[in-house]
Chain A
Amino acid sequence: MNRDLHERRDDEAHGEARDALDRQLDDRLRAAFAPPPAAELAARARRALEGTGRRPRLHLPLLLAAAAAAMLAVAVAGPRLLRPVGDGRVPEGSVPDGHEVGALWAAAWQDATARGFDPSCCRTGVDLPACCRAAFSVPLALLPDAAVKLCGSYCGLPTGGGLMFLLHCERGPVCVCVLPRDRDPSVRLPHGSGLQLARREVGPLVLYALAPERRDELLEEFVVPAQ
């Protein structure tokens, strides 16, 4: 009788130890193999698809001709063509695809919120009007009594052009993306992103508010001051 009791207690203790070990194992595996957010993977997939569909098959003579044409263009147009893009200016060129930009924004949102809008992805101390003037020649600003706090500009994953600002307000964090109106790709978020977009045109700019809920009212806080 006593031996049965001891054996049962041993079995129970053994089972508990095994369960604890399994929990530890599961936690470690989940931490080590946590996949990236779905939106980020979808954005990468879209880029891979676009690379596949549009990859040119250039022969050497065509390549040389293209290189010569590029050199000629640089010689004629001068350093204007070689202007760097890393200073806040929006890269020029064709309007990107709205789906692709939406997927990039969703991935950027996941990234920014995962990092808590910290300095690893958010450049703080940004002068909003100066930043927008440098990028778009338009000094976009917040109203003086705006009930939002500008955390900074997002500087993590690619955002498909334009500028992305991270803000905090009473209802939680929001990303505001700014683009020139003539380069607005009509951004659409990927299905299942769990995010909502609000859009507003402000002068020659278009603003999108990206958050789990539509935040149209927040975009009313932005103005382009008369110059």
Chain B
Amino acid sequence: MTASGRPQNNGCTGAAGPPPARAAARAAVPGLGADELVAALGRSGRTLWVLAAAWVGRSEADDLVQETARVAWQRRDSFAGGTDAAAWLSRIARHVGANWRRRRRPEPTAPDDLSECTAARIGADPWPFDADRCGLGDELARALAALGEVARACLLLHVVLGHSFAEIGVLLDIPENTATSHARRARLRLRAALAGAPAPPALDPR
């Protein structure tokens, strides 16, 4: 996988991350008062935003991060001191995002020009692709929309924020190898879309 010019890691601690960074992150969140939670959200905010974009689309990512903050505050007692705050916040963001998706599932109708397979998947598991705003181009945006949210998150967290697959595994509660595979297959599909070639066989959305 090409990683040219990959940005530095930002705001996440992973299972195989450098020990000092993990220790610092854990030490910084001994318990979750309002200031500690805001600080944790400040450190992990960009990670949560990209995760949210992968789950519910770019246009709703801000709202999902804000809702995550609200829910995290309500459930602050469930945070186990000394554990990874980024992973805890990520779990909340994924649950909140999944609820949003469930609520709006019956509403979308697939565009006419999509293939039957893609249309069925978008209808069942919607992810808005605002291609014009993102500047991705229709083909690339459709290919992204056709991915499962976990695969999308694996690729985006790796490419946009430079998270390692070990860190992504912690954030998404999946093994590192699974995160690697998701990102690799997602890249194959997007690469094919970008090149205008036929896409590889459909992925398991999860």
Contacts and interface: CB of A to CB of B under 8 A. Distances in A.
B119 interface: no
Interface in A19-33: 19, 21-26, 28-33
Contacts of B140: 25, 28
B156 A29 contact: yes
B65 A52 contact: no
Nearest to B52: A35
A52 B72 CA distance: 10
A44 B194 contact: no
B42 interface: yes
B154 interface: no
Nearest to A99: B35
Interface residues of A, number: 35
A77 interface: no
B139 to A, nearest CB: 11
A22 B187 contact: yes
A195 to B, nearest CB: 13
Contact of B49 (A36, A51, A190): A36
A46 B49 CA distance: 15
B70 A52 contact: yes
A70 interface: no
Interface stretch (B4-12, B98-106, B107-115, B166-174): B4-12
A192 B70 CA distance: 22
Q: Chain B interface: which size bin?
A: 35 or more
Contacts of A31: 134-135
Contacts of B37: 45, 49
A23 B69 contact: no
Nearest to A100: B38
Contacts of A48: 66-67, 69-70, 73
Contacts of A26: 2-6, 159
A46 B38 contact: yes
Nearest to A36: B49
A19 B2 contact: yes
Contacts of B156: 29, 33
Contacts of B50: 33, 35
Contact of A34 (B4, B34, B67, B160): B160
Give the dominant DSSP class at A's interface. helix
Contacts of A35: 45-46, 49-50, 53, 61, 160-161
Nearest to A19: B2
A36 B62 contact: yes
A148 interface: no
B43 A21 contact: no
A19 B1 CA distance: 8
Contact of A28 (B38, B66, B136): B136
B155 interface: yes
Contact of B73 (A22, A41, A49, A103): A49
Given A41-B41, A44-B65, A191-B42, A49 B70 contact: yes
Contacts of B135: 28, 31-32
A41 B191 contact: no
A112 interface: no
A144 interface: no
Contacts of A53: 34, 73
B77 to A, nearest CB: 14
A23 to B, nearest CB: 5
B194 A42 contact: no
18 contacts: A21-B191, A22-B187, A25-B140, A26-B6, A28-B137, A30-B7, A31-B134, A35-B45, A35-B46, A35-B161, A41-B46, A41-B49, A41-B65, A42-B39, A45-B38, A48-B66, A49-B34, A99-B35
- Give 7 nearest A-B pairs by CB, closest first: A41-B45, A22-B2, A42-B42, A32-B134, A35-B49, A45-B69, A45-B41
Given A41-B65, A53-B73, A192-B42, 8 more contacts: A24-B194, A25-B194, A28-B135, A32-B136, A38-B45, A42-B38, A48-B67, A49-B38
